[in-house]
Amino acid sequence: MLIYKILLPEEWAEFQAAGRFDGSPFDHDSGFVHCSGRDQVARTARRFFADAPAIVLVALAADRLPVRWEQASDGVFPHVFGPLTAEAIEWSGPATPSTVEDALSRSPRDG
């Protein structure tokens, strides 16, 4: 199963350089890395990244990360308790908050 992390381009560059992503300031405040399921990620992009001119959508293999699906205010979301690692990346691609569905349509499907 794939889970999705939305990153700003500078966060993606840091992830690529380090081979891991320890989370955004919001993730640090929460104590875990916020991710989304495939059916949630477009809504997450519009809600939290609406003002971002560009984002990077990163698909991660959930079985390669310490993931717990937990209740949030608007559904059950995957939370990663540890860093995102390069080994977990299945694919990534550029998008904008309004084009996440298009990016997903060009991506490999979950198994």
Pair of tokens at residue 105: 């349509």
> pLDDT exceeding 90 applies to what percent of the chain?
92
Per-chain mean pLDDT for the chain: 95
Instruction: Give the pLDDT score at 73.
Output: 87
Query: Is residue 111 predicted with pLDDT exceeding 50?
Result: no
Query: Is residue 110 predicted with pLDDT exceeding 80?
Result: no
Task: Identify the sign of the CA torsion 86, 52, 95, 35.
Answer: positive
Strands 84-85 and 20-21: antiparallel
Segments making up each domain of the chain, as ranges? 2-100
Task: Identify the sign of the CA torsion 50, 13, 79, 58.
Answer: positive
Mean pLDDT, range 89-109, rounded to an integer: 90
Query: Residue 55 CA to chain centroid, in angstroms?
Result: 10
Q: Which CATH superfamily is domain 2-100 in?
A: Protein of unknown function DUF952 (3.20.170.20)
Instruction: Give the pLDDT score at 109.
Output: 66
Query: Is residue 93 predicted with pLDDT exceeding 60?
Result: yes
Residues 45 and 104: beta-carbon distance below 8 Å? no
Instruction: Give the pLDDT score at 32.
Output: 98
Mean pLDDT, range 33-56, rounded to an integer: 96
